[in-house]
Amino acid sequence: MLRICVDAATKGNPGPSGGGIVVVGDGIHEQFHVPLGEHSNHEAEFKVFMNALQLLIDKEFNDQTILIHSDSKIVVQTIEKRYTKNLLFQPYLETFQQLEKNFPLLLIKWIPESQNKGADSLARQALQKYQ
């Protein structure tokens, strides 16, 4: 099983955004910071979540159970319920549903910000680096 932590940071709302991804598993500990472009904070959280899934597929880490931690309640609730009224979030939900097919088991869990400091730090690094 791989444990993934994701977080996004934005400067302004909307504004430049960066994402942080931490991948931890048996013999694996990788960290990534990625530019996300201009987004609202919520959109950036969705975007880094999707980037993390695509990253796992690209690195061929998608052959095992994945547990993704996010401190974004909107992202977690949307994914868990598989529904959103917000028209801006619907494309992200559709992307998730397509990416999800590449994993045998994909779980998502909300965690408080205080437990997501690694991904938060990477997101802030991305924001500073790619502004």
- In tens, the pLDDT along 9-60 reads 999 889 999 999 999 999 999 999 999 999 999 999 999 999 999 999 999 9
Closest C-alpha among 129, 98, 79, 109 to residue 6: 109
Which residue, among 75, 65, 83, 82, has the nearest Cα to 110 in the 3D structure?
A: 75
3-state secondary structure of 29: strand
Domain coverage including residue 70? 2-130
**What is the count of structural domains for the chain?**
1
Please report the pLDDT score of residue 114 as a whole number.
96
Cβ–Cβ < 8 Å for 123, 41: no
CATH number of the domain encompassing residue 61: 3.30.420.10
Per-residue pLDDT, 131: 64
Pairing of strands 28-39, 66-70: unpaired
Report how far residue 78's alpha carbon sits from residue 43's, in angstroms, rounded to the nearest whole number.
12
pTM of the model: 0.95
Contacts of 16 (CB under 8 A, 6+ apart): 10, 37, 38, 127, 130, 131
